[in-house]
A and B are shown apart, each in its own frame.
Chain A
Amino acid sequence: MVDRPGPGAPRALRLIASWLIRSRDARFILHDLDEIFARDVARGVGSWRARARYVHNALGSAASVWRADAHRLRVPALPGVSWLDVKLGVRMLGKHPAFTVVAGFALALGIPVGLMPLQIFHAFNAPMPFDEGERIVGLRNYDISIQDPAPRAIHDFETWRAELTSVSAMAAVSSARHNLVDEDGRAEPVRGSEMSAVGFDILRVSPVLGRRLLPADELPGAPPVVVLGYDLWQTRFGGAADVVGRTVQVGATRRTVVGVMPEGFLFPYRDNLWMPWQARALDYEWGQGPALWMLARLRDGVTAAQARAELETVARRTAAAHPETHEHLRAEVVPFTWTVTGMEARFNLEFFQIQAMALLLLAVACGNIGTLMLARAATRSSEIAVRTALGASRARIVGQLFVESLVLALLAAAAGLVISSVVVDRSTLLTRSMPFWFDLGVGSSTVVWAGALAAFSAAIAGVIPALKATGPSVQRNLQRLAPGGGGVRFGAISSGLIVVEVALSVCFLSVVGVLGWKGILSRELDPGIPTAEYLTASLRMPYAPPGDAPEAERRAFAERFGRIQEEIARRLAAEPGVRGVVFADRLPGMDHPSRRIEIEGEDLPLNAAGTAHTATVGPDYFEALGRPVLAGRGFDSGDLASERRAVLVNESFVARLLHDQNPIGRRVRYAARPGDEPGPWFDIVGVVSDLGMEALDPALAAGIYHVAPPGEIHPLRLGVHVGRDPESFAPTLRALAAAVDPTLTVPDAVALDEAFSEARWGAVWGAFLFAVLALIAIALSTAGLYALMSFTVSQRTREIGIRTALGADPRRIVGSILRRASIQIVAGVLLGSGLGAALLVDLSNDPMFHTPQWPSVLAATAAFMVLVGLLACAGPTRRGLRVLPSDALREG
């Protein structure tokens, strides 16, 4: 982590410590803890070790303070709760293993789910891990007309920097991939930032070697310099102490290394190079220029709200002077994490709703566990009655039952935290795309919240049943002690819960079924080319003009990039072992966007069946892939003219959208969004075979290919056919690209089949989440049914015995026992099928999840749930049938 010279410990830890340590000297103790932490960090003790030592010291301090207080005040232990209860609770876990597993599983999954909204909110709003990180903010323009940040704000940056008095410093940051080229011409893409020198002051981070960037480095004509990241220094320069003063080539520029930043400093993404910010507003029109993020530090004593008010005043003046560019812009002071990710997490109604939903889910799970507890309490009602009779207070007994469930909930919460930290750890795809300080992991605050949720769970699952079990009926139970059975009633809430859970099981399970179905299908999809023989990579230029840049700027870029592309194609073709090269915006097997289309003279359905995938390819794409045109003609040089309207379609397009009519000469266009003008018509000139445009569902593989001349596609996807072990060709490709243009980066060079499998990742992940939800719902509903049935049977033991003795038909007895449970199962399945159908119809409209087979999946799910429900009832029912009349009568 980052060295923090200032006042120490993470806020969350300090919060817990201040909460735990209550004494008149608490403030000194807390300061000491802080100071020891800061000293540990400064001494080079690892950040996690320092935190561990902090926690150890804090807990020890709390214990000392408690002991001293208890000693002085002679405080008795908590009323109604003792260590014995805890021991008893642990023993109960072992005594009812099935209950422990079901309830523990539900809580272990439910508690992390309940925590997630808060955790995400916290990750987006947490202060950055720098000295007084809570005073670091981001400034930005937010375009309210498109609900997105407007990052091309170099004019605003310079205006705000000059005028704002509420921030002590303000920096511009822009991060991109750059090529680091070594002496042999080998190029490696490295993430790096151009940043105002004052950015290092704002973050208050010092280099471990040399100096950081200085304002003088930003001046036009200043010698080009670079500050290296620790990892890069270690890996590329072997940690050489004399690296400062050496020159390295970053893109096309040779820069002198002036410093090395400390380990773990990767600001803002996974950056390892920092170069001075040299862009100036006077070179650009208002609303033009490079995209940038603004980083600032609030002046001491100024609150974020005051800074916001001042910024609004300044921005209002700008908007009045430049209405054409600033009419829809709103200037904001936000956490820098929002600025840099373009995402946000506000404490608003939406967040509240999501959090409430998550808690509701947990509450439902707890309610269910409560039902199980109640069933268990029913079997223990005699014990409770006797203890009450012997003088145990109600509080004492409720306390015992609460502690029992608390023990379970705390263990489950711990298991849940382990699960969620493993999940977060594994989803590197998520963390890789977030700034380096973004932490969704299990922090100390998460532990506190998980503990609180465990207590919340235990209160619902333990206290309510306990109150019921110890209520006025205790007296009655005492009187009925001899007849056996409990006096606790199985309430309408419990029954309702079971119905809801069966319904949710059906609902979730059918979604899992549909997703699983598609997952299985995709495994057999043929992308159409030997993907294992292709190396694929992006070709990217730093600072390509965005789509709304002036026409001239874009044309100049396309010309330059086109020359580069042609030169690369020429050099690649001359490489030994290269069998072919293709250029496109995406290659077979990758995720292709799909759009709703219109075909002249056809009525297409308004759902997923009326969409087609699109790709833009180089003119000789199909020849190079060895998939020649099947009908009509391929692209030719005439199609590259600016008025080009020729497109190719694939076989699925002809079969599905045109019902095998001749497509040549037909016209197609993209459907307009409501309120927009429809786009131009395109002429279909030829048909090609299907080439892996749809990774999930062959039924949706209709596709349209556009052609683009070299230079017009950026970033460009390159496919090189090299035969076996394509990734061994990656260094050659990089060196070749760097030789053509040193600023050109070649990130993510992988075998095409790797890229292919990544496309399915999202769907698999979604299916996994739903599977987990379905599993919770099934576990809960079966447990609920089981509890209900056990309860019914135990209450009716006597009646069943008498009926058996009188010669009743066993089938009728089974029927009468099962009646209530079967009503609940059927009601749940019906409700769930309705919900599931609504969800699946909706889902089917999304091309990604389009599954015409959903009714059969739903029917199978419903049948499965009925079966599972009946199985849950089987055990207790058998127990009921085995009741011997003699036993039943003896009990009576």
Chain B
Amino acid sequence: MGYLGEFEQLILFSVLQLGDDACGVTIRDAIEARTGRVVSSGAIYTTLGRLEERGLVSSSEGVPPSGRPGRPRKHYALEPAGARQLMDAYAAIQAMAADLVPALAKLAEG
């Protein structure tokens, strides 16, 4: 089983969330909307490229229904392997965090 970095996890969750509409701009928007983090477009594509090489996502080129006509887009979809790894990573975090959240919040406040 491979390891997934935090940013990779964010991206995989976005791809999952966006479904058919998952491409560079929309993923960037989704991350910004949910986490407030502004990331560069290049970082998204290089990360997705790496994930694709590992077989965790797949890509296809085309024009999205909601997009501007004429603009080439690359769409991404989550592969079963990617979904498994993301689930594992999230489970690992959840397992580690279990019962600790109140203590963590208290520490962070104080």
Q: Which residues of A are interface residues toward B (Cβ below 8 A)?
A: 7, 21, 23-25, 27-29, 31-33, 35-36, 56-65, 67-68
Contact = CB atoms under 8 A, between A and B. Distances in A.
B29 to A, nearest CB: 9
A154 B107 CA distance: 80
Interface stretch (B9-17, B69-77, B79-87, B97-105): B69-77
Nearest to A30: B41
B60 interface: no
Given A29-B42, A61-B41, 13 more contacts: A21-B42, A28-B45, A29-B45, A32-B25, A56-B40, A60-B42, A60-B43, A61-B40, A61-B42, A61-B43, A63-B40, A64-B47, A65-B46
A29 B41 contact: yes
B69 to A, nearest CB: 11
Interface of B: 23-25, 28, 39-43, 45-47, 49-50, 68, 71-74
Nearest to B67: A35
A231 B68 CA distance: 33
B71 A64 contact: no
A854 B74 CA distance: 72
A25 B45 CA distance: 7
A23 B24 CA distance: 14
A29 B27 CA distance: 12
A591 B42 CA distance: 58
B43 A31 contact: no
22 contacts: A23-B45, A25-B49, A28-B24, A28-B45, A28-B72, A28-B74, A29-B41, A32-B41, A35-B68, A56-B40, A58-B42, A60-B41, A61-B41, A62-B42, A63-B42, A64-B40, A64-B43, A64-B46, A65-B46, A68-B46, A68-B49, A68-B50
A430 to B, nearest CB: 38
Contacts of A64: 40, 42-43, 45-47
B49 A29 contact: no
Contacts of A61: 40-43, 45
Contacts of A27: 72
Query: Which of A23, A28, A62 lies at the interface centre, i.e. has the most chain B CB atoms within 10 A of its CB?
Result: A28
A68 B23 CA distance: 20
Nearest to B39: A60
B40 A60 contact: yes
Contacts of A62: 42
Contacts of A57: 40-41
Q: Which of B25, B40, B43 has the most CB of A within 10 A?
A: B40
Interface of B is mostly: helix
Nearest to A33: B41
Given A25-B49, A28-B24, A65-B46, A35 B40 contact: no
Nearest to B24: A32
B45 A31 contact: no
A705 to B, nearest CB: 67
A35 B45 contact: no
A671 B82 CA distance: 90
B38 to A, nearest CB: 8
A203 B55 CA distance: 48
A592 B42 CA distance: 61
A203 to B, nearest CB: 21
A408 B69 CA distance: 48
B72 A31 contact: yes
A74 to B, nearest CB: 15
A24 B74 CA distance: 12
Contacts of B49: 23-25, 68
Contact of B41 (A24, A36, A68): A36
A25 B74 contact: yes
A61 B45 CA distance: 9
Contacts of A63: 40, 42
A35 B42 contact: no
Nearest to A38: B68
A31 B44 CA distance: 13
B1 to A, nearest CB: 21
A123 B57 CA distance: 46
B40 to A, nearest CB: 3
Of B28, B46, B68, most A-chain CB atoms within 10 Å:
B46
Nearest to A60: B40
Given A29-B24, A35-B25, A36-B25, A23 B42 contact: yes
A73 to B, nearest CB: 13
A36 to B, nearest CB: 7
A62 B42 CA distance: 6
Contacts of A56: 40
Contacts of B72: 27-28, 31
A23 B40 contact: no
A35 B46 contact: no
A806 B38 CA distance: 77
B48 to A, nearest CB: 8
A31 B71 contact: yes
B41 to A, nearest CB: 4
A553 to B, nearest CB: 52
A817 B7 CA distance: 68
A62 B45 CA distance: 11
Contacts of B45: 23, 25, 28-29, 61, 64-65
B27 to A, nearest CB: 10
Contacts of A24: 49
B6 to A, nearest CB: 15
Between A23, A56, A61, the greatest number of chain B beta carbons within 10 A of the residue's beta carbon is seen for A61
Contacts of B50: 68
A709 B69 CA distance: 66
B42 A65 contact: yes
Best-buried of B24, B39, B43, B45 by chain A (most CB within 10 Å) = B45
A874 to B, nearest CB: 56
B77 to A, nearest CB: 16
Contacts of A32: 24-25, 28, 41
